[in-house]
Copies of this chain bind each other. A is one copy, B any other.
Amino acid sequence: MTAHAIAVDVGGTEIKAALVAVGEDGARPLHRLRRPTPRGPDGGATADRVVDAVVEVVTALRGAGPADAVGVVVPGIVDESRGVGVYSANLGWRDVPLRDRIAARIDLPLGFGHDVRAGGLAEARLGAARGMRDAVVLPIGTGIAAALVLDGRVHAASGHAGEIGHVDVGHGEPCPCGGTGCVEAVASSAAVARRYTARTGTAVGGAAEVAEAVRTGDPGARAVWAEAVDALARGLLVLTAVIAPEGFVLGGGLARAGRLLTDPLRERLDELLAAHHRRPRLELAELGDTAGCLGAALLATEGLKTP
């Protein structure tokens, strides 16, 4: 049976929304909408405007066809069990009961979740982690978080699980979080760009340009890239020891480099793995920046099955 969900992925700069047909065989966006994420003078006002904008896109997409449910995902620290946006560094809000505030203004069942975990759920059901019993999905962008999909379900732990970006893997560099050696201080796409500029004096628009420089043999780019790969491999090693997933799915900006990332990462991880470790698969994400939106659609329709 196919259900129709209105899925809304609230990002730091843009709200992506779609009317999605969710069936046994997959999920298909029928109609898409994008809006800039509104901002207020502070986090509370931003939350108010985001709630308004979510209601507006839901109303607009209801014009595109019948819908059975709505799913909304937001960034930052999110407590799914209470339906609360606990904290977003980017949007500035703290402890906003977003689920209840949105639910009060729409007359459809509402699923609510976290963008990264919902995207991980989508990769597990519809994308590169399909068929893996336990998978860790890592979007590597400004930061590095992980969605832990264990036995087909996302482990959220009141919103705090999967903080692999701030595990100390020993490289010794300081991180804006106050720690040192954090994976994302060296391996996030933001860090790759920043460290390349610091090393070479050449300004770049992002990690994609550093990847291009690696391809052309730029020694500074190669060094920064190798350090990112090493930190990331050490992060995956920690996840392998603790979680032992069947595989990792790499997404986000840095994973657009494709095999330029996964080939050396596979090699470095294999060097680090001991005999007692499970050898995980490494895959590139398949759903790109629609993962969050498709995950929101899954959250919406899963609610329909709950008695």
**Minimum CB–CB distance for A280 against chain B, Å:** 10
Q: Within 8 Å CB of A234, what residues of B?
A: 168
Residues 152-202 (chain A) with a chain B CB within 8 angstroms: 153, 155, 157-158, 160-164, 166-170, 177-179, 181
A sample of 21 inter-chain contacts (CB < 8 A) reads A77-B276, A134-B157, A150-B150, A150-B157, A151-B153, A151-B155, A157-B244, A157-B245, A157-B278, A158-B278, A160-B244, A161-B242, A161-B243, A162-B244, A163-B241, A163-B276, A163-B277, A164-B242, A166-B274, A166-B276, A242-B242
Given contacts A158-B278, A161-B244, 16 further A-B contacts (CB under 8 A): A134-B155, A134-B157, A146-B242, A150-B155, A151-B153, A155-B243, A157-B278, A160-B277, A161-B243, A163-B242, A163-B244, A163-B276, A163-B277, A166-B274, A168-B237, A177-B276
**Is A158 within 8 A of B244, CB to CB?**
yes
A residues bordering B, Cβ < 8 Å? 77, 133-134, 146, 148, 150-151, 153, 155, 157-158, 160-164, 166-170, 177-179, 181, 234, 237-246, 274, 276-278
Q: Which residues of B contact A166 (CB under 8 A)?
A: 241, 274, 276
CA distance A169 to B179 in the complex (A): 14
- Chain B residue contacts of A179, Cβ below 8 A: 274
Tell me which residues across on chain B come within 8 A of A169, comparing CB atoms.
Answer: 168
A245 to B157, CA, bound (A): 7
Chain B residues contacting A151 (CB-CB under 8 Å) are 153, 155
